[in-house]
Amino acid sequence: MALSGHIACLECDLVLPMPELDEGQRANCPRCGHTLTSRPLDGFQRSLAFTLAASVFLMAACMFPFLTMKAGGLENAITLLQSAREIYENGQPVVAVLVGAFILVIPAAVLLGMLMLLVPLLQGRNAAWLVASGRLVFGLSPWSMVEVFVIGVIVSLVKLASMATMVLGISFWSYVAFSICMTAAVSSLDRMTVWDSIERVSVR
């Protein structure tokens, strides 16, 4: 068998001919069912659009009040960053760093990596940082826990609803929009398609 023109399933190692997909199609491994590759409609454009939208929402999420609690004449407003900082100041610095990384730093790094990947690839140009950006995006995205944090916030709101009045700030809504855009951006980015494109522009 010749090496070129073949791929192997990442989850069962079955050798398969390179799939030729049209937009909107997906290839699954016939043996184990793993999704080998997919070509979402307008994959790169769509991904870039959601990446840009997610970046704007993330910036907005860092600038305004996130949540405000009102109880018995007392009021306490927090920003997104404070959710990590207060843990730091209350004796759990490691947890604070992890929370900050999972909800803010890693997602921001993934977004930056996607911008640096998608802009040159859409123009069909090579760039010195393409390989590094690809490794960053696909290596870090499992550690971006944006949607999980949204669920965590909702759980906290329900927990506190009985004892205080909760006000959802602009940052909260921005973060929810950011999580939706981020998920859409990452899910319309196919690993094999991205790397094939990187190879194509760098050989030229």
Partner 1 sequence: MSGFPSNTAAAQGWANCHTCTKLSSAELHHCPRCGAALHLRLTDSLHQTLALLVTAVLLYIPANVFPIMTTDQLGQSIDSTIIGGVVLLWQHGSYPVASVIFIASVLVPVGKVLSLGLLCASVARKDVTRMRQRTSLYRVTEFVGRWSMVDVFVVAILVALIQLGGLLVIRPGVAALAFSGVVIVTMFAAERFDPRLIWDQLNADALEERNLGFGNE
Residues that bind partner 1 (CB under 8 A): 1, 3, 6-15, 31-34, 36-37, 67, 69, 71, 74, 76, 78, 82-87, 90-92, 94-96, 98-99, 102-103, 131, 134-135, 138-139, 142-143, 145, 148-149, 151-153, 155-156, 158-160, 162, 191-192, 195, 198-199
CB atoms < 10 A from the CB of 170, how many? Answer: 13
- Quote the least distance from Cβ 45 to partner 1, whole Å: 22
Beta bridge partners of 45: none
- Quote the least distance from Cβ 151 to partner 1, whole Å: 6
- Quote the least distance from Cβ 7 to partner 1, whole Å: 6
| Torsion, CA 151, CA 154, CA 155, CA 157, rounded to 10 | 160
Beta bridge partners of 35: 28
* Nearest Cα residue to 182 out of 61, 24, 84: 61
- Quote the least distance from Cβ 179 to partner 1, whole Å: 12
Kindly give the pairing relationship between strand 74-78 and strand 67-71. antiparallel
Tokens of 53: 């939208």
- Quote the least distance from Cβ 9 to partner 1, whole Å: 8
Q: Which is nearer to partner 1, 56 or 129 (CB)?
A: 129
Q: Which is nearer to partner 1, 35 or 52 (CB)?
A: 35
Q: Which is nearer to partner 1, 52 or 127 (CB)?
A: 127
Could you give the CA distance from residue 157 to residue 89 in angstroms, rounded to a whole number?
22
Tokens of 133: 């950006």
Q: Which is nearer to partner 1, 46 or 191 (CB)?
A: 191
